[in-house]
């Protein structure tokens, strides 16, 4: 265990019951979780009783994460499906980042469902919102590098079912710096180019999103999490519907140069439901559109230069 891990995994009692930032006082409630480089606790704003999450990060790593958060929050966090930062300040040797308090991670919900697989109708809004987040990150030249079930959270699953946000920006990197980094992504979500020490770009995040969605549909991790060999990237059969299968296969295209981009994926039939446009009275279509209502409207951006015909990419065809 590293010194950083030892520092942030210490007793919660060492962290303050009362935090002050300017005129705002935060009162501690309980622990929420742990991020890449920090511990997250639940606090309330004294004057308003608003619930917030406070992440305590060692100073060096905290300054790096804060730099990335400022870039990310320059975009509308709600429209782009990012965790919203509300405040930041220093406390002793920590950088404290205050953010909105969300509900539960995809992993939490998965366990509460007794690991029952998600239907593709439930996965469509999750996929759409993650693609919106990836598109925004790409636009500002950032790569998340740590997309997994625990880093996608429902905003409020009871009030806004399937509305999600991407969280934990502790490993976010600017795209040019990826050339000097090989130790990113956890086993089970690692893109092939990371495993094989190839040049890296934002496509590593698309691979991870594909793993998340396929794993939720299959009710188990798509790739093993205890070992990592190049042969494991030959794919695992997954039976699913044609459009969902088409999108996931393009997300899991082994060659990152031909892997689908966020903009292309947002225009895929599985997301837009264009293939269902004539089935206006179908109960499934009605339900699917109702579930998708949590997604913010997507503004069409300049499309990426076409790199492939969507159904004729070089995939590992046995992934599904």
Contact 38, 57 (CB under 8 A): yes
**Catalytic choice (7, 103, 146, 201):** 146
Q: Is 78 among the residues known to form the active site?
A: no
**Edge-to-edge order in the sheet of strand 152-154:** 104-105, 152-154, 164-166
Tens of pLDDT, residue by residue over 44-68, are: 999 999 999 999 999 999 999 999 9
Count CB atoms within 10 A of the CB of residue 255. Answer: 15
pTM of the model: 0.83
**Edge-to-edge order in the sheet of strand 85-91:** 18-21, 24-34, 38-45, 51-58, 94-100, 85-91
Kindly give, in sequence order, each residue whose CB lies less than 8 Å from that of residue 37, ignoring residues fewer than 6 positions away: 4, 8, 57, 58, 61, 62, 65, 170
Domains with residue ranges and CATH for the chain: 3-76+83-100 (3.30.200.20), 104-319 (1.10.510.10)
Annotated binding site: 55
Residue 161, helix vs strand vs coil:
coil
Nearest in space to 122 (alpha carbons), one of 112, 110, 136: 110
Tens of pLDDT, residue by residue over 170-226, are: 999 999 888 766 678 888 888 888 888 888 999 999 999 999 999 898 877 766 555
Annotated binding site for ATP: 55
Rounded-to-integer distance, Cα 304 and Cα 289, Å: 27
């Amino acid at each position: 265990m590293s010194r950083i891990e030892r520092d942030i995994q210490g007793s919660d009692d060492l962290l303050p019951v009362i935090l002050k930032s300017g005129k705002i006082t935060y009162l501690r409630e309980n622990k929420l979780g742990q991020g890449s480089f920090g511990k997250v606790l639940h606090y309330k704003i004294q004057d308003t009783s608003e619930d917030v999450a406070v992440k305590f990060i060692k100073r060096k790593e905290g300054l790096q994460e804060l730099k990335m958060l400022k870039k990310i929050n320059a975009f509308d966090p709600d429209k782009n499906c990012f965790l919203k930062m509300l405040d930041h300040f220093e406390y002793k040797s920590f950088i404290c980042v205050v953010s909105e308090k969300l509900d539960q991670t995809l992993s939490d919900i998965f366990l509460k469902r007794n690991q029952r697989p998600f239907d593709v109708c439930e996965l469509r809004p999750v996929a759409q919102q993650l693609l919106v987040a990836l598109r925004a990150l790409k636009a500002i030249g950032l790569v998340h590098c740590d997309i997994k079930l625990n880093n996608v959270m429902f905003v409020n699953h009871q009030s806004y079912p399937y509305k999600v946000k991407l969280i934990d920006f502790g490993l976010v990197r600017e795209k040019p710096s990826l050339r000097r980094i090989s130790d990113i992504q956890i086993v089970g979500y690692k893109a092939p180019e990371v495993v094989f020490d190839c040049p890296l770009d934002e496509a590593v995040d698309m691979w991870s999103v594909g793993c998340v969605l396929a794993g939720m549909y299959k009710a188990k991790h798509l790739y093993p999490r205890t070992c990592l060999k190049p042969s494991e990237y030959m794919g695992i059969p997954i039976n699913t519907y044609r459009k969902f299968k088409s999108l996931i296969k393009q997300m899991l295209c082994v060659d990152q140069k031909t892997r689908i981009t966020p903009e292309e994926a947002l225009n895929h039939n599985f997301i837009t439901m264009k293939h269902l446009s004539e089935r206006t009275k179908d109960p499934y279509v009605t339900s699917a559109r109702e579930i998708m209502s949590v997604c913010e409207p997507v503004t069409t951006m300049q499309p990426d230069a076409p790199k492939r015909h969507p159904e004729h990419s070089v995939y590992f065809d046995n992934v599904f």
